[in-house]
């Protein structure tokens, strides 16, 4: 296996067809132990050439111009160093919406769409002025997805990192949501007053010692503040959960992302805080992914 860019292969001759470039890049990425080399090569080629996937497939022998070739070579070299495709192209699709990424934002995960589904399931009437809160908003993907689905809702996004908030603000503006979203730098909810109908929160929950063992795409590119959950992964929950009851409106729900093995300890923290962890939800891979907690009426935890 070649490492990073130690051996530079500049690829096909300028003017070669897209299929030739694609085959070269897939081999380069496979050689660097990238998980899905052909898929990533196609995404990067489409980005460098300014073409969508359908056009790439329909015109395999179309030549790649000099500027496209230069951009593609650079993108392939970056991916060989295990920079994620989303960071190279600078954006990630979440809930079928475009979110730009920066060094301070977590790359949103498809699994976190489970929180959006769980939140929408609690909503009886979409056309109401729901009050939403996203604690640890990062790119603003959870809040943005919910505001898109709830056209009269208003949302607050909180993050400790001002650079993440700048990105979240830009993303909200790009989605046409600037008039319904405000973003503020805060240590969880310290200093936040008000009641919300829906609180979503995807806190950092990776145990500190486990971070070094994560894939390079995660450990080297996602910000530590977005990953590091302290010694047992639960540090952020311990700090933020006690503040939730004072933020929930009557009948409100808090939807909290967890790792699969954290349901019990986080449910216990919610109960200690006086909330009822009413349901859990699994992601597409069947792993427990979030807890839905209610402000009132404790019930037994029911798995879906
Ligand atoms: C796992 S990321 C989630 C980002 C985004 N909500 C998503 O789902 O992609 C956790 C976020 O919490 C933020 N964060 C970490 N500690 C915080 C704190 N004490 N107060 C507020 N936000 C914090 C991080 O900056 C990061 O953006």
Topology annotation, domain 94-303: Rossmann fold (3.40.50)
In the predicted structure, residue 155 carries a pLDDT above the cut 60: yes
Q: Is the CB of 161 under 6 A from ligand 1?
A: yes
CA-based nearest residue to 113, from 141, 88, 79, 73? 141
pLDDT at position 11 over 90: no
Cα–ligand 1 centroid distance for 65 (angstroms) = 41
Q: What is the DSSP string of 48-109?
A: HHT--HHHHHH-TTPBPPHHHHHHHHHHHHHHHTT--HHHHHTEEEETTEEEE--TTS----
Asked whether 141 and 95 are in contact (CB, 8 A), the reply is yes
What integer pLDDT is reported at residue 10 of this predicted model?
80
Q: In 151-268, where do the E strands start and end?
A: 154-159, 181-185, 196-201, 248-257
What homologous superfamily is domain 18-89 in, according to CATH?
Ubiquitin-associated (UBA) domain (1.10.8.10)
Calculate how far, in angstroms, residue 291's C-alpha sits from the geometric centre of ligand 1: 17
Distance 258 CA to ligand 1 centre (A): 13
Look over the chain and give the mean of its residue pLDDT values, rounded to a whole number: 93
pLDDT at 302: 42
Q: Do domains 18-89 and 94-303 have the same CATH topology?
A: no
Q: Which ligand 1 atom is at minimum distance from the Cα of 204?
A: 1
Predicted confidence (pLDDT) at residue 175 exceeds the cutoff of 50: yes
Task: Write the pLDDT tens digit of every residue in 51-82.
Answer: 988 888 899 999 999 999 999 999 999 999 99
Domain boundaries, the chain: 18-89, 94-303
Helix (H, G, I), strand (E, B) or coil at 158: strand
Model confidence pLDDT, tens digit, residues 94-148:
999 999 999 999 999 999 999 999 999 999 899 999 999 999 999 999 999 999 9
297 Cβ contact list (under 8 Å, min separation 6): 276
* pLDDT per residue as tens digits for the range 216-254: 999 999 999 999 999 999 999 999 999 999 999 999 999
- Is the minimum distance from the CB of 160 to ligand 1 under 6 angstroms? yes
170-174, 241-245, 278-282: least confidently modelled range: 278-282
């Amino acid at each position: 296996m070649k490492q990073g860019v130690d051996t530079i292969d500049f690829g096909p001759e300028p003017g070669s067809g897209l299929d030739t470039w694609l085959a070269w890049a897939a081999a380069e990425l496979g050689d660097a132990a990238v998980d899905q080399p052909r898929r990533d090569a196609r995404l990067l080629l489409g980005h460098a050439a300014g073409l969508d996937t359908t056009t790439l497939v329909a015109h395999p022998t179309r030549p790649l111009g000099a500027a496209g070739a230069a951009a593609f070579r650079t993108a392939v070299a970056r991916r060989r160093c295990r920079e994620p495709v989303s960071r190279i192209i600078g954006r990630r699709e979440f809930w079928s919406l475009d979110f730009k990424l920066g060094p301070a934002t977590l790359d949103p995960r498809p699994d976190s769409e489970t929180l959006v589904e769980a939140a929408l399931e609690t909503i009886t009437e979409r056309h109401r002025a729901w009050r939403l809160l996203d604690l640890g908003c990062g790119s603003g993907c959870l809040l943005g997805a919910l505001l898109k689905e709830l056209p009269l809702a208003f949302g607050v996004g909180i993050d400790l990192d001002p650079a993440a908030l700048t990105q979240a603000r830009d993303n909200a503006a790009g989605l046409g949501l600037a008039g319904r979203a405000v973003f503020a730098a805060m240590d969880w909810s310290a200093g936040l007053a008000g009641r919300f109908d829906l609180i979503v929160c995807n806190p950092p929950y990776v145990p500190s010692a486990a971070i070094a063992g994560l894939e390079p795409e995660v450990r080297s590119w996602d910000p530590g503040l977005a990953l590091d959950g302290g010694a047992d992964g639960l540090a952020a929950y311990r700090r933020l959960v006690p503040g939730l009851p004072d933020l929930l409106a009557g009948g409100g729900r808090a939807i909290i992302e967890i790792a699969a093995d954290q349901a019990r300890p986080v449910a216990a923290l919610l109960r200690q805080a006086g909330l009822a962890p009413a349901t859990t939800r699994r992601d597409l891979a069947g792993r427990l992914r979030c807890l839905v907690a209610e402000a009132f009426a404790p019930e037994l935890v029911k798995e879906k």
